[in-house]
A = this chain, B = another copy of it.
Amino acid sequence: MGIDAGSGGKVEDLHFFYEQVKQVHGRGLWQTEGTAKKAATLPYLWKFEDFRPLLFKATEMVPIELAERRVLVMANPGITSDWQASSTMLANLQIILPGEVARSHRHSASALRLVIEGTGAYTAVNGEKSYMEPGDFVTTPNWTWHDHGNEGDSAMIWLDGLDVPLIQATETNFYEVYEAEQYPIVTPDDMSIRLFGGGALKPSWVKHNQYFSPLLNYKFTKTYETLKAMSEHTDGSPHDGISVEYANPMTGGPALATIACFASLLAPGLRTKAHRHTGGTIYHVIKGKGRSIIQGKVFHWSEKDTFVVPSWHWHEHQAESESVLFSYSDSPVITPLGLYYEEALKEDNGHQKIEGTFEALPVPERGGGVQQRRTHSK
């Protein structure tokens, strides 16, 4: 800004002035720019093959009773907090062994599960159990009691998505442990699927005025069948292929108050066109193999990998084999505030110039953590 040099007063006067301002917990606005950088969400990819052995290792090292949830976070190296995948969301991997129970608690943060491996475990929400299978999308809406238990005979692994950084940023974090290990079962298993999973048929006697979907488990078999049926006669979205939102059947809105969730089918060889929009998005590969190009860099992915596209980053996808991408985004937070912007790439028929390939970053010696005001020009 050049104020130090260019101001009317001498530099020593200026520094004396700054010190005076500091004493009253003030600051020159001009001092806050460019002097320190806040790290920001980086486009990043975590390989499942890296995490899988560590998850099993964790089952040996970390008793579930001590950890409450046996979870490894995928930390975005661009963010100093060391545990967020994006500016507002977490992407974690949870493992639960046969016979284990992850005890009941509730929080104002919203959570979702996308099942990766195993069968026989359930999620129970407010006393309704749903057994989970690979590809299932399971909701645990904010402030609902939930626990998990594995009644099968193999380990079960899933992706946990949460909005905790947003909850922290707004200082609205509430958390409570249930008085017993498990909330009592008060509803028949999968009752919500019976009531709300039947297509565009809404039980007329059920009042549900909450901010989230009443449907607890969107079964993958149905999702996949729906995507395939659509794909016979349409190419879907130019940017996302055949893409469905897991909707709240009572409103058509997002499944969770703060998180919109999607499944996208990409035909083998399909290359979508690039666009960018505000709102960070985390992708998880349910099925298939391919690559995404994010801000000019190629990210190769295969089944069970997880990657993040930060807000306002160009991105496009290309499937090598038939692929299904699960994704979740904080768009429900920013859209009602007028902060959702979107832009399609016009150049080169909608395709970015490729400028490199993603490589995992080395782990830095900690200490940095500078702040930056990120400024886009819309």
Contact = CB atoms under 8 A, between A and B. Distances in A.
Given A32-B83, A46-B24, A171 B310 contact: yes
Contacts of A374: 38, 40, 168, 171, 173
Interface in A218-244: 218, 222-223, 225-226, 229-230, 232-234, 236-238, 240, 242-244
Given A58-B17, A244-B202, A312 B376 contact: yes
Contacts of A205: 236-238, 240, 243
A179 interface: no
Interface in A8-31: 8-9, 13-14, 17, 20-31
A337 B251 CA distance: 14
Interface stretch (A64-72, A116-124, A283-291, A316-324): A64-72
Interface stretch (A208-216, A292-300, A351-359): A208-216
B226 A201 contact: yes
Please tell me how many copies of the chain the complex holds.
Answer: 4
A7 B142 contact: no
B248 A200 contact: yes
Interface residues of A, number: 157
A249 interface: yes
A249 B246 contact: no
A314 to B, nearest CB: 12
Contact of A245 (B36, B69, B202, B211): B202
Contacts of A32: 73, 82-83, 370-371, 373
Interface in A235-288: 236-238, 240, 242-252, 255, 257-258, 262-264, 278-280
A223 to B, nearest CB: 6
A372 B37 contact: yes
17 contacts: A2-B66, A7-B62, A22-B363, A25-B46, A25-B75, A25-B76, A26-B51, A27-B83, A30-B62, A30-B68, A142-B338, A200-B213, A203-B236, A203-B244, A211-B338, A257-B337, A369-B369
A199 B202 contact: no
A232 B194 contact: yes
A185 interface: no
A98 B142 CA distance: 52
A27 B173 contact: no
Given A311-B170, A373-B168, A8 B63 contact: yes
